[in-house]
Amino acid sequence: MDFSKIAAMAAGHAEARAIQTAVRLGLFDALASEACDAVALARVIRCEPRATAILADALASLGLLEKNSARYSLSAGTARHLVAASPEYLGGMILFDAALWDEWGRLEDAIRTGRAVRDPDMFQSDPAATERFIRAMDSLVRARGDAGWTAAHLNLARTRSMVDLGGGPGTYLIEFLRKYPELRGELWDLPGALAIARRILKERAADVIDRIELRQFDYHRDPPPTRVDAVFLSNIIHSENERDNLRLMHTCYQTLNPGGFVAIKDHVMDDAMTTPASGAVFSLYLLLTTCGRDYSFTEIERWLAQAGFAAPELIPLPTPPFSSSIITAVRP
């Protein structure tokens, strides 16, 4: 690896912070309808003109804005992913990352102690934090297209009932129900997450909301309230330690009818724990905020077998844009 690559990675916080600040200020939204110069832009976002010009020039240098005759406008990708009105808006995830800025500053503490630097409560103790977290998950999945791809490739033709366990905003469940009209779904999650999910479903899922039941459920404590044909878990196991993930696989097994299956979508690492690189780096975030990390197929396969599942299968998602995989297994 050469100097330029190392230096760029080491200074990556500056680019991230510039984008986060622009999203928080509404800079991209301010340019959504027309181009303008720094003075006009500063007026709209209520900032100082000289400082606004410095930020806008930095964003232009990164390709996020275009600058012509001192006027700034959005690039095509920015209009698609950084304007709040876009259906593929990534801003929810960017604002979530911005809120964790102080936690990243304590990475050394986490490495020294092996413990999270905040309460690993999945952002449930504060309503504002809960909404930011759930909206971030929804934002990322919609912007990248995970839910659409998964609905197109996960075969639910013979499935009549399914649970999205820890499903947060219900983004995946919405797409599953739209593709399979005979399917009924349940979203099981903690109370704070369900409150946000209800709002999201009313905002965007009027066509399928009558086929969704929301249930308050804590998989650390509660027995499964019903049985279904399929259980879907997206980005759940990476927040838990090995012991709790084995227990979670037993819960999934108990939730399923015989012949049903579980589908686990997550970063699935190789045995060396270095590929995909995005998963290895993401484990640092998990160290800061949870009890978990990303896991290998070998580890996940072992939990599934110990819980009684059979026929595990690994389905990698295409890279790019995705960095995760799906593991399916059947309850005999």
pLDDT (0 to 100) of residue 86: 97
pLDDT tens, residue by residue, 220-266: 999 999 999 999 999 999 999 999 999 999 999 999 999 999 999 99
Q: How far is CA 321 from CA 108, 120, 140, 149, in A?
A: 30, 29, 12, 11
The confidence band for 149, taking pLDDT boundaries of 50, 70 and 90, is: very high
Q: What burial letters (b/e) apply to 17-35, b meaning 16+ CB within 10 Å?
A: ebbbbbbebbbbbbbbeeb
> Mean pLDDT of all residues in the chain?
97
pLDDT (0 to 100) of residue 71: 98
Q: Where in the chain is the domain with CATH 1.10.10.10?
A: 3-86
pLDDT (0 to 100) of residue 279: 97
Give bridge partners of residue 215 from the DSSP assignment.
188
The confidence band for 97, taking pLDDT boundaries of 50, 70 and 90, is: very high
DSSP for 168-216 reads: TT-HHHHHHHHH-TT-EEEEEE-HHHHHHHHHHHHHH-TTTGGGEEEEE
pLDDT (0 to 100) of residue 64: 98
CATH topology of domain 3-86: Arc Repressor Mutant, subunit A (1.10.10)
Report the 10 Å Cβ neighbour count for 128: 9
Distance of CA 312 to the CA centre of its chain: 24
Report the 10 Å Cβ neighbour count for 41: 23
Closest CA to 63 of 54, 71, 72: 72
Q: Find tokens 């579980």 and name the residue.
A: 262
pLDDT (0 to 100) of residue 22: 98
pLDDT (0 to 100) of residue 287: 98
Q: Where in the chain is the domain with CATH 3.40.50.150?
A: 107-330
What average pLDDT does this structure show over 168-172? 97
pLDDT (0 to 100) of residue 226: 95
CATH topology of domain 107-330: Rossmann fold (3.40.50)
